[in-house]
Chain A
């Protein structure tokens, strides 16, 4: 039943809700439907083809390649950037001089847009004039073609991603560390715990809520953030550094196959929904210790 009070609430929700529906939920449903249809050309009427698009997808070696790449990309960037973030946060939270400068230094990569970062790193990675190879040249090593070598391209992207993400996650850890009472650490020190034991038994468990929040965000970013591919590798060479979202973009706007792109999008959405679901169902329940 919609009574007067309810109606008012719905009216207040209407602007946000209509935007969400128009630009998020409706396109999602549209993509979902589109993934079951196909048309010979843009002008031809689309027809229902059932699971044909999905069958094509399962037979598509590039799809499997980008899934595999995305898996390694997530595995390579997420734990490392979280680990680095904790270390940096512990460092800039300690009683050393110039902590504000250090914090700023660590946070700078986060302020920069991904496209800018990619352009900076394009210079680092360039085969002949690039910073890395010039430095290697100084000690007499001929540097590899970081972005052009299929064996190195994805790893090179990962290094850059870690560089960009760690500073961002550090801010969350720093905020969490500053809410912890210093007396806890005094007590632990008095009880004879060494630095490693304090970290393992006190600091890390108390940072768990932050870690799980950061973990989810890092995982989502590993799928969502592909801006740097446009600048650095365009997914190449030979899809060696291609990721799912970039492949969707290519399929839709370079190969102009919006039906197959919709199919890939559904896979992407399901993956992201699964990650979000894990957060809501499992993690939220387990991390609260108060």
Chain B
């Protein structure tokens, strides 16, 4: 339904978004993922109409919307700061768009009631945003986006202002709402866990360019570039130079075994369910080659202890130099 084709945006000499292309299908949850400054927010703003691309086109349901004003695109958006109007009651915040678009009063009421039920804001309609907690503000912002019944909903790091526990709850909740209402969503985040757990497809961006577009499993199992391999997964994939190529192996796929590659323990970082073991696999007199190993349970290794590591061949990834 949404087709972004080769959009670019420059700020002076700096190219922030470079020929970005991707599409969103009806009812699909697409995450724009990447490190800060990779151009994902700028891309979202161009889709929203808050920025104009220097080149390329954006099509929504076959209509070219590249030069339309934000209002004419009829999209909904959830902002990182929520962007709630501090002087308006929750009710008026949610209905702001419907009032601006002159939706009949009865229809407004009907939609308000149903959306308030969905996000659970019943008792707070008469309050001002200043009287609500962060999580409640988030719900108001969500309600304002849902009530518009827009074809496409844009979300710009909507969970980044919440604490870890609430973030996990809202993650599940947003995903559930999206699936229940069949919403098409573009979700911008720098958090790979959010993207992996919520999205149907992920557009991984780096330096304004697309690195890989794929379903979460494919990004994890078949990364096409070293950047993707190291961005998805925590701790990142170990990259070992071997001959004419780079060998990639995830920390969770390395086993500490009787025989295999000799390694020397440098440190152990205990996380509870597992331990991240840092080891050196360089031979005598070579520069250090560090690998991280995810070891289930509590590993009790002494520093400088010599071990052997191995992995199953199907877990190897190979990248050309």
Contacts and interface: CB of A to CB of B under 8 A. Distances in A.
Given A197-B100, A289-B128, A189 B83 contact: no
Contacts of A206: 85-87
A181 interface: yes
A82 to B, nearest CB: 19
Most chain A Cβ neighbours within 10 Å, of B70, B74, B76? B70
A192 B81 CA distance: 19
Contacts of A193: 71, 96-97, 100
Contacts of B87: 205-206, 208, 289
A189 B86 CA distance: 16
Interface string B50-79: 100000000000000000011111111101
Interface in B61-117: 69-77, 79-81, 83, 85-88, 96-97, 100-101
B71 A190 contact: yes
B49 interface: yes
Contact of A202 (B73, B85, B128): B85
B48 interface: yes
Interface in A50-77: none
Contact of A192 (B50, B71, B144): B71
Contacts of A186: 48, 50, 70, 77, 79, 83
B148 interface: yes
A191 B86 CA distance: 16
A187 interface: yes
B130 interface: yes
A190 B130 contact: no
B128 A189 contact: no
Nearest to A189: B70
Interface residues of B, number: 28
Given A181-B83, A184-B83, A201-B96, A189 B69 contact: yes
Contacts of B100: 188, 191-194, 197
B130 A192 contact: no
A188 B69 contact: no
A189 B97 CA distance: 9
Contact size range, A: 20 to 34
A115 B64 CA distance: 60
A289 B86 contact: yes
A184 B71 contact: no
Interface in A206-221: 206, 208
Contacts of B72: 192
A208 B88 CA distance: 13
A95 interface: no
Contact of A191 (B50, B71, B81, B130): B71
Nearest to A188: B96
Contacts of B88: 201
A183 interface: yes
B128 A192 contact: no
Nearest to A191: B97
B101 A192 contact: yes
A190 B88 CA distance: 17
A96 B267 CA distance: 57
Nearest to B77: A190
Contact of A187 (B49, B74, B77, B128): B77
Interface of A: 181, 183-184, 186-194, 197, 201-202, 205-206, 208, 289-290
20 contacts: A183-B81, A186-B50, A188-B85, A189-B49, A189-B50, A189-B71, A190-B71, A190-B75, A190-B76, A190-B77, A190-B97, A191-B97, A191-B100, A192-B97, A192-B100, A192-B101, A197-B100, A201-B88, A206-B87, A289-B87
Given A184-B83, A190-B76, 18 more contacts: A186-B70, A186-B79, A189-B50, A189-B69, A190-B49, A190-B70, A190-B75, A190-B77, A191-B97, A192-B74, A193-B71, A193-B100, A194-B71, A194-B100, A201-B96, A206-B86, A208-B87, A290-B128
